[in-house]
Amino acid sequence: MSATPQEIVLAEPRGFCAGVDRAIEIVERALARFGAPIYVRHEIVHNTYVVNDLKSKGAIFIEDLDDVPPGATLVFSAHGVSKAVQDEARARGFQVFDATCPLVTKVHMEVAKLAREGYEFIMIGHKGHPEVEGTMGQLESGIHLVEDVADVAGVRPGQTDKLAVVTQTTLSVDDAAAIMAAVRERFPQIRQPKQQDICYATQNRQDAVKVMSPQVDVVIVVGSPTSSNSNRLAELARKLGVASYMVDRADELQAEWLAGKARIGLTAGASAPEVLVNEVIDRIKALGAVAVRRLEGAEETMKFPLPKGLKA
């Protein structure tokens, strides 16, 4: 076996999704139209490079609306916010642009619609993730979080006649399916989404890792530690029996990870820009790789419209 990497195998698709593209464009257009500073509640997307780039252009990232001055322009992050945060922003009179991914908004609207019909909910997701907090925060009560199969046994809904399930959009497709099966077994009458809540980009990137993993000796995922979908890609490769590492930037890549590995698989989470992928390619080439091969994969053409007031 070669002591140095010979080939880089690129997953397709990888990197930015339509929701991330839209969220970043909303902040950049708000800066161009209204000038700095623009306040953003929570990291617009979970990527250190993107956040630092927007900070350099005049975006100020906050968690608490107390940190936003009167009359300011405020952007909600791609992960979505609770009803309480929306109401507070409105009451304070901020000019608000909502960068919530439309696929997350779809889940919020489904929760609101079914709650009006008397439903309670089971939400499959990761406790503390801003998307989960935003979705659960659409209701004051009646939404129960499960993180794994074991949690399902502990759910105590007030009634089971009207019970629906929703999921965080960036979960592992396989893990979510296992939890969903446990939910269905315990609550056979539960209402499921017409289309799964896990977003097309999360699904496509996981499918691409499934295609790539058997063809490579190690998988490198470009993504920040806070990025749920990036973490799921690294986990998936490991479950498929391939060593996998996640890096925020190329300088985090360690030569020993690639020692004795001829084929290096490379992908990126939905919030990681291609410029970082290219930096990692250059770093692997510096360690000996001489070829780059792109795999076939799903072609993504999704584009989401910008909010009123920011369109060209």
C-alpha R_g of the chain = 21
DSSP code of residue 191? B
Amino acid at 150: A
Residues 39/72, Cβ–Cβ less than 8 Å: yes
Q: CA 193 to CA 180: how far, in whole Å? A: 11
Active site residue 131: yes
Residues 66/92, Cβ–Cβ less than 8 Å: no
DSSP code of residue 154? T
Q: Which of 12, 110, 131, 133 is catalytic?
A: 131
Beta-strand relationship, 143-146 and 163-167: unpaired
Q: What is the widest separation between alpha-carbon atoms in the chain? A: 65
- Give the HSE-up count for residue 212: Cα atoms under 13 Å, Cβ half-sphere: 37
CA distance readout (Å), 122 to 143, 199, 239, 250: 6, 18, 26, 39
- CB contact burial 99-129 (16+ within 10 A = b; e otherwise): bbbbbbebbbebbeebbeeebbbbbbbeeeb
- The backbone torsions φ and ψ at residue 4, rounded to the nearest 5 degrees and listed phi first, read -125, 155
Nearest to 277 by CA among 312, 250, 309, 308: 250
Q: What positions carry a catalytic annotation?
A: 131
